[in-house]
């Protein structure tokens, strides 16, 4: 019976809360819902519209759940609030909209109140929390309330309510109680990371290595990230970013990518990836730089241009790229890198990966907004991510400690090896000092012997140089003999032409002979000439001989490339005596109608020069018993012997009689050039 009476009284008071289109401030016992209330009118306008424009608007309509707040527009609410009591009444408007402005209009005055998480703390009406704004009414006073709601963050918000003082204290208590655990963890996170940062700073100042610099950057931006998350709570101590909420919101994602970039570079140096896989090291370097570039670009576009219009979309897209890429890099590093600290990386990366994936899923599925859900607590996605980060930081802190121990062990081992080496050096020095006196005497004797050997070598060198000079002189003498021999044969040819009354041929022969003689005298000045130059002299000589012998004598020269002949050096006037012997002693005595001479220069491998004639052969020529029969060939052989001795190349001479069925076909002369 008593319970029913209480419910009846409560319902009666609720009905009395609004009378004749006004909300009775003194009749609000606990909480008055503004949504779906006939006393509350709503109007949607551009977010930049002024209060005067909105106040003068006539397109107001009842406030219902169909109306929502977005980033491009502002939702305006309007209602009348009256105090019928003799006491000053204080009501509290609750709104978790990121930015809300309340205008309390009296007959001759307008009061403006600003609140919300995107309003800088100095500009907020209520500095203790950003949910509640106090509205005071003097006894029997009436005012018109305008509420501007703007939600640039695109996050889910509750509709505003008008609360009594009792409701205000109860709701504030519930909010603080719900946030206590999250705020406590955020403080633990910030304090832990800051402590580790201090130790890392000491290491960097002492060692001055990039490894610790990257780790400091990684920790510093995690601390900033911790304060950014703290800003979204009702924490009062250390909530630095409440003074710059818009900047903090725009930098929220960029800060995360900056510490991820430092983390990637830190891992690259900690595990010395470059020593195991240079390509992987390059990929990590480029990925770290990409994180920095993306962070700066995202901040610039978000803060100066688009605000948080695309923040949620970019958040999802980037994580769909980064998380699989991170997964690939984990296995790549595990597969390639065999560093002793790889186990710390695996465990730390596991913490990070689980935290990143789980926080992304909780944020995307909005599990933190489902009442009674396991993840229904303040800033659940960021808290989960911070748990993963904290586990990762602890792992890498242990890894740095282990790295110091490894360096210390390496230093100790190096010192022990140095001590052992010093002892060995000392023993070696003592042993060397003992043997030094013994060796001095032996060394003196050895020096005397060496000096004697040097004297002998010097004498031998003088003898060798003298012998070399003698052989060079012999070569010059032989070359001097070749020129008179050739001149004698040529003069004999001219004599033969005159005696046979071939005076015109003799004159032509003499003219050509003088031209040939000039070429021979020019080449005789050199110890060696090219085969190409020798061929030019030979062609002049053969032309003379054809003039002397007439049409019965024919010759042909086969050369694949004269340019290749220029690569080979031979003594001057080497081939002419051999060709001359073939003509004078092989072809001229022959009774054959066609006297043929062939000269072949084969450069397919080493140079091979072949001289073929169809003359009478060496045996029949020897029967003629001519005085100068073999003089040219003998001189050529002697010159080749000296050439082979003085040069690093050699030329072999071979003469073969061509016979078939005991019938002489001619003679074949082969010169083989060997390098």
**Do residues 106 and 202 both lie within one domain?**
no
**Do residues 212 and 311 both lie within one domain?**
yes
Range with the poorest average pLDDT among 47-51, 191-195, 574-578, 643-647: 643-647
For residue 404, give every residue at least 6 positions away whose Cβ sits within 8 Å of its Cβ, in sequence order, or none.
Answer: 203
The pLDDT, as a whole number, for residue 464 is 64
Q: What is the pLDDT of residues 160-185, one digit of tens each?
A: 999 998 888 988 888 888 888 888 99
**Do residues 113 and 199 both lie within one domain?**
no
Q: Confidence class of residue 630 from pLDDT cuts 50, 70 and 90?
A: low
For residue 182, give every residue at least 6 positions away whose Cβ sits within 8 Å of its Cβ, in sequence order, or none.
Answer: 233, 377, 378, 379, 383
Q: Note whether residue 114 is domain-resident.
A: yes
Residue 128 clears pLDDT 50, i.e. is over it: yes
Residue 319 clears pLDDT 90, i.e. is over it: no
Range with the poorest average pLDDT among 137-151, 179-193, 313-327: 313-327
Q: What is the pLDDT of residues 201-243, one digit of tens each?
A: 988 888 888 888 999 999 999 999 999 888 888 887 888 888 8
Range of the domain at 121: 2-163
State the CATH number of the domain containing residue 82.
Answer: 2.60.40.2380
**Higher local confidence (pLDDT), 316 or 198:** 198
The pLDDT, as a whole number, for residue 601 is 92
**DSSP β-bridge partners for residue 333:** none
The pLDDT, as a whole number, for residue 103 is 94
Range with the poorest average pLDDT among 17-21, 199-203, 442-446, 516-520: 17-21
DSSP letter at 137?
E
Q: Note whether residue 170 is domain-resident.
A: no
**Do residues 290 and 326 both lie within one domain?**
yes
The pLDDT, as a whole number, for residue 435 is 80
**Do residues 212 and 309 both lie within one domain?**
yes
Residue 524 clears pLDDT 80, i.e. is over it: no
Q: Which two tokens stand for residue 195?
A: 């402590």
**Do residues 96 and 199 both lie within one domain?**
no
Domain boundary among 414, 435, 452: 414
The pLDDT, as a whole number, for residue 150 is 85
**Higher local confidence (pLDDT), 20 or 68:** 68
Q: Confidence class of residue 555 from pLDDT cuts 50, 70 and 90?
A: very high
Q: Note whether residue 358 is domain-resident.
A: yes
Q: Note whether residue 288 is domain-resident.
A: yes
Range with the poorest average pLDDT among 17-26, 329-338, 383-392, 652-661: 17-26
- Average of pLDDT values for 493-519? 80
**What total of structural domains would you count in the chain?**
3
Range with the poorest average pLDDT among 134-143, 256-265, 450-459: 450-459
Mean confidence (pLDDT) of the chain = 82
Contact between residue 379 and residue 198 where contact means Cβ atoms under 8 Å apart = no
State the CATH number of the domain containing residue 542.
Answer: 3.30.565.10
**Do residues 185 and 266 both lie within one domain?**
yes
Q: Which two tokens stand for residue 604?
A: 């397919």
The pLDDT, as a whole number, for residue 310 is 62
Domain boundary among 163, 190, 221: 163
**Higher local confidence (pLDDT), 20 or 179:** 179
**DSSP β-bridge partners for residue 148:** 76, 101
CA gap 334, 322 in Å, rounded: 18
Domain boundary among 365, 387, 414: 414
Range with the poorest average pLDDT among 107-121, 260-274, 300-314, 537-551: 300-314
- Average of pLDDT values for 306-316? 65
Dihedral sign of CA atoms 237, 102, 135, 164 in order: negative
DSSP letter at 302?
I
Residue 644 clears pLDDT 70, i.e. is over it: yes
The pLDDT, as a whole number, for residue 146 is 93
Q: Note whether residue 462 is domain-resident.
A: no
**Do residues 122 and 261 both lie within one domain?**
no
The pLDDT, as a whole number, for residue 629 is 46
Residue 613 clears pLDDT 90, i.e. is over it: yes
Residue closest to 291 by CA, chosen among 371, 202, 221, 388: 221
**Do residues 142 and 187 both lie within one domain?**
no
**Do residues 28 and 95 both lie within one domain?**
yes
**Do residues 107 and 192 both lie within one domain?**
no
**Tokens 């996605």 appear where?**
381
Q: Note whether residue 476 is domain-resident.
A: no
Q: What is the pLDDT of residues 181-206, one digit of tens each?
A: 888 999 999 999 999 999 889 888 88
Q: Note whether residue 477 is domain-resident.
A: no
Q: Confidence class of residue 154 from pLDDT cuts 50, 70 and 90?
A: low
Residue closest to 385 by CA, chosen among 253, 555, 243: 253
**Do residues 186 and 159 both lie within one domain?**
no
Range with the poorest average pLDDT among 31-35, 143-147, 233-237, 393-397: 233-237
The pLDDT, as a whole number, for residue 1 is 38
Q: Note whether residue 573 is domain-resident.
A: yes
């Amino acid at each position: 019976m008593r319970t029913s009476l209480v419910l009846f009284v409560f319902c009666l008071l609720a009905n009395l809360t609004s009378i004749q289109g006004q909300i009775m401030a003194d009749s609000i016992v606990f909480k008055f819902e503004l949504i779906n209330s006939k006393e509350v009118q709503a109007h949607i306008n551009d977010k930049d519209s002024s209060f005067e424009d909105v106040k003068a608007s006539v397109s107001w309509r009842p406030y219902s759940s169909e109306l929502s707040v977005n980033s491009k527009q502002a939702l305006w609410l309007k209602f009348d609030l009256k105090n019928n009591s003799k006491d000053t009444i204080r009501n509290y408007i609750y709104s978790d909209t990121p930015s809300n402005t309340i205008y309390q209009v009296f007959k001759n005055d307008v009061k403006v109140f600003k609140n919300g998480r995107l309003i800088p703390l100095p500009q907020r009406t209520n500095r203790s929390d950003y949910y509640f704004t106090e509205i005071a009414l003097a006894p029997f006073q009436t005012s018109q309330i305008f509420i501007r709601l703007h939600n640039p963050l695109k996050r889910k918000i509750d509709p505003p309510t008008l609360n009594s003082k009792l409701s205000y204290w109860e709701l504030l208590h519930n909010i603080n109680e719900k946030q206590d655990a999250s705020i406590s963890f955020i403080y633990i996170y910030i304090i832990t990371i800051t402590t580790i940062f201090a130790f890392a700073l000491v290491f960097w100042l002492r060692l001055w290595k990039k490894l610790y610099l990257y780790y400091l950057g990684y920790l510093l931006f995690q601390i900033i990230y911790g304060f950014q998350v703290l800003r979204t709570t009702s924490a009062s101590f250390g909530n630095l970013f409440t003074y710059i909420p818009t900047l903090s919101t725009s930098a929220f994602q960029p800060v995360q990518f900056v510490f991820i970039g430092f983390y990637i570079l830190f891992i690259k140096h900690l595990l010395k990836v470059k020593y195991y896989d240079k390509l992987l090291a390059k990929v990590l370097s480029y990925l770290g730089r990409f994180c920095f570039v993306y962070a700066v670009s995202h901040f610039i576009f978000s803060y100066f241009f688009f605000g948080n219009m695309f923040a949620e979309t970019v958040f999802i897209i980037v994580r769909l790229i980064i998380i699989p890429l991170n997964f690939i890099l984990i296995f790549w590093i595990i597969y390639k890198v065999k560093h002793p600290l790889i186990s710390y990386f695996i465990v730390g990366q596991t913490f990070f990966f689980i935290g990143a994936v789980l926080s992304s899923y909780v944020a995307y599925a909005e599990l933190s907004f489902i009442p009674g859900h396991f993840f229904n607590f303040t800033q659940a996605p960021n808290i989960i991510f911070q748990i993963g980060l904290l586990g990762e930081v602890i792992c890498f802190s242990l890894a740095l400690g282990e790295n110091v121990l490894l360096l210390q062990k390496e230093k100790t081992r190096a010192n022990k090896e140095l001590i052992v080496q010093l002892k060995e050096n000392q023993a070696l020095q003592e042993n060397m000092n003992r043997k030094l006196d013994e060796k001095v005497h032996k060394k003196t004797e050895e020096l005397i012997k060496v000096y004697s050997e040097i004297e002998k070598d010097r004498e031998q060198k003088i003898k060798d140089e003298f012998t070399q000079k003698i052989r060079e002189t012999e070569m010059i003498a032989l070359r001097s003999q070749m020129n008179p021999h050739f001149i004698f044969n040529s003069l004999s040819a001219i004599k033969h032409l005159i005696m046979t009354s071939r005076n015109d041929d003799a004159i032509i022969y003499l003219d050509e002979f003088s031209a040939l003689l000039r070429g021979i005298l020019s080449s005789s000045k050199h110890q060696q000439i090219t085969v190409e130059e020798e061929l030019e002299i030979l062609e002049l000589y053969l032309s003379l001989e054809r003039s002397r012998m007439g049409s019965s004598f024919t010759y042909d020269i086969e050369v694949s490339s004269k340019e290749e002949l220029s690569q080979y050096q031979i003594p001057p006037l080497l081939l002419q005596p051999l060709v001359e012997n073939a003509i004078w002693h092989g072809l001229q005595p022959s009774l054959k109608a066609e006297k043929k001479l062939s000269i072949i220069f084969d450069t397919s491998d080493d140079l091979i020069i072949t001289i073929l004639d169809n003359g009478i052969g060496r045996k029949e020529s020897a029967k003629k018993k001519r005085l100068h029969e073999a003089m040219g060939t003998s001189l050529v052989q002697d010159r080749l012997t000296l050439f082979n001795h003085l040069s690093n190349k050699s030329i072999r001479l071979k003469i073969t009689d061509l016979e078939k069925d005991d019938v002489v076909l001619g003679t074949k002369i082969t010169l083989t050039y060997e390098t």
